[in-house]
Amino acid sequence: MAETDTSPFYITTAISYPNGRPHIGHAYEAIAADVIARFQRLQGRRVRFQTGTDEHGLKMARKAEEQGRTPSDLADEMSSYFRDMCDALNVSYDRFIRTSEPDHHRASQAIWQAMEAAGDLYLDRYEGWYSVRDEAYYDASELVEGEGDEKLSPQGTPVEWTIEESWFFRLSKYEQPLLELLRTPGFLEPASRRNEMIAFVEQGLRDLSVSRTSFDWGVKVPGSDNHVMYVWVDALTNYLTGLGYPDEISEGMNTFWPASLHLIGKDIVRFHTIYWPAFLMSAKLPVPQKVFGHGFLLNRGQKESKSLGNVTDPLELAERFGVDALRYFLMREVAFGQDGSYSPEAIVLRANAELANSFGNLAQRTLSMIAKNMDGRLEVNFSPAEADLELRNTVNDASRTLLPKAFEQLSFSTGIEDWLRAVYACNQYVDEQAPWALKKSDPDRMRVVLTILFQQLRTLAIAIQPVTPEKAAALLDQLGIPENERTYAAIDNDTWFDRLVASGFTVAPPTPLFPRLELPAEGE
């Protein structure tokens, strides 16, 4: 057995623009990051997990103006919905950061000063295209034609011609180190996103405009009071703020920087794998170990938008189908890294087939038979038959080897499928052993069979905790497993069963874990 890796693990999501309420894409990213954070905790790692809201910039300022309110008022209201969403979805963040917070202004000014000290900032005039929706500068060569002669960004958003005095960052200086970084295996995943970034750097990097003078909703540039930082400079710095940067002896920085993983969507890979590492190199800080750009979630194959009227509130989905069913669906349905689609029907089909009818039913029938036919008392001191050992191997292999290996590689759907195969093996074992028939023909064997199943339920429940934390905990409670014995390493502990029995534990008649969901009515 390999020794447990207890090293620190720092994971972040993108921080969301609170210019509206959270949508399903935000929920998807928060849930995926939470699955990783919980998985790493169960592996024994010391985890720090940060998420939050990105509150500055022109996009926020304009939205607030449209609504006749201040940007800070808009941010206060909307940011609270993002935090509520995380709480409702059981997202176990350690810090929910808001970039309007004072410690974040201090950290952003500190990294600015470090870049200035490196000689990487100079004052000039910016003349070029800017997309407020993307909060991004684009070179004329990157633009595409929209309707009429309207120019659009490569993401299809409107751009406007901008001329203003601006501070510039010497991005061009970092071409070579960035190419080396982008070619480092594992730095940017999935690998399919790598070539695009390498091509972007290879065609030559222009220095980046990093301050604005035409509005003031942002972090002030030190020593240049009429400038606020370009929103991405401060936004990216959030990952340091949460660790106590710039305090020299900050425990957070010493322990958790460089980040183990920035989890983001595919549309903001350029900011995280080109601009961000360059800022860090300039400030003489280590670069993150990995950036993963996940795919987009579509509603029945379509992008959600107000004009199509198909925007879904993730909390409504969670309320209707259950938080864990939604989490399970999102992680199971889509190969992580690729785009995926969801619909109420697809959620119901998966949740019913895999959670209610397979895992839930396995727990329900095993525990009720133990409660009813064995007075809740488990069998001790038996020698397992070959079929029992085989089942135990299958379940252990899925839970201790296959699922963790897949989750380590962020292949959640594969890992869950491995786990599900072990659930199916248990159900097949129930059918083959037919404990209801053994009740009459061989009650001793019935007790062994049900006890073996009880033990497999424990392993399966421990393994799936990152995905369905609430339901897994509810099952582990019913199985009498103490909270401090639910890590992956605990699966191998061979004294747990004797201790449980010795404690006088009995199985109570179970409460169903996953109720069967109803298919939505036509047109929903």
Which spans of this chain sit near ligand ME8 (rule: CB under 6 A)?
Answer: 14-17, 25-26, 28-29, 54, 235-236, 238, 264-265, 267-268, 296-297
For ligand ME8, the closer of residues 297 and 363 by Cβ is: 297
- Report, in Å, the least distance between residue 294 CB and ligand ME8: 6
Q: How far apart are CA 276 and CA 290, in angstroms?
A: 12
For ligand ME8, the closer of residues 268 and 463 by Cβ is: 268
For ligand ME8, the closer of residues 97 and 513 by Cβ is: 97
- In 386-484, beta strands by DSSP E: none
**Structure letter (DSSP) for residue 63:** H
- Report, in Å, the least distance between residue 115 CB and ligand ME8: 17
For ligand ME8, the closer of residues 110 and 268 by Cβ is: 268
For ligand ME8, the closer of residues 235 and 462 by Cβ is: 235
For ligand ME8, the closer of residues 29 and 324 by Cβ is: 29
- Report, in Å, the least distance between residue 72 CB and ligand ME8: 17
Find out whether 299 and 341 touch, Cβ atoms under 8 Å: yes
Q: How far apart are CA 182 and CA 289, in angstroms?
A: 11
For ligand ME8, the closer of residues 74 and 297 by Cβ is: 297
Residue the block writes with tokens 């392993």: 459
Beta-ladder partners of 302: 299
- Report, in Å, the least distance between residue 340 CB and ligand ME8: 9
- Report, in Å, the least distance between residue 19 CB and ligand ME8: 8
Candidates 182, 271, 200, 501; CA nearest to 370 is 501
- Report, in Å, the least distance between residue 17 CB and ligand ME8: 4
- Report, in Å, the least distance between residue 462 CB and ligand ME8: 29
For ligand ME8, the closer of residues 328 and 359 by Cβ is: 328
Q: Residues 430-450, buried b or exposed e (16+ Cβ, 10 A)?
A: beebebeebbeeeeebbbbbb
Candidates 380, 382, 405; CA nearest to 499 is 380
Closest residue to ligand ME8, Cβ-based? 265
Distances (CA, A) of 87 to 15, 27, 81: 16, 11, 10
Q: How far apart are CA 209 and CA 366, in angstroms?
A: 64
**Structure letter (DSSP) for residue 338:** B
- Report, in Å, the least distance between residue 54 CB and ligand ME8: 3
The CB density around residue 254, as the number of other CB atoms within 10 Å, is 13
The CB density around residue 204, as the number of other CB atoms within 10 Å, is 8
For residue 399, the Cα-to-chain-centroid distance in whole angstroms is 21
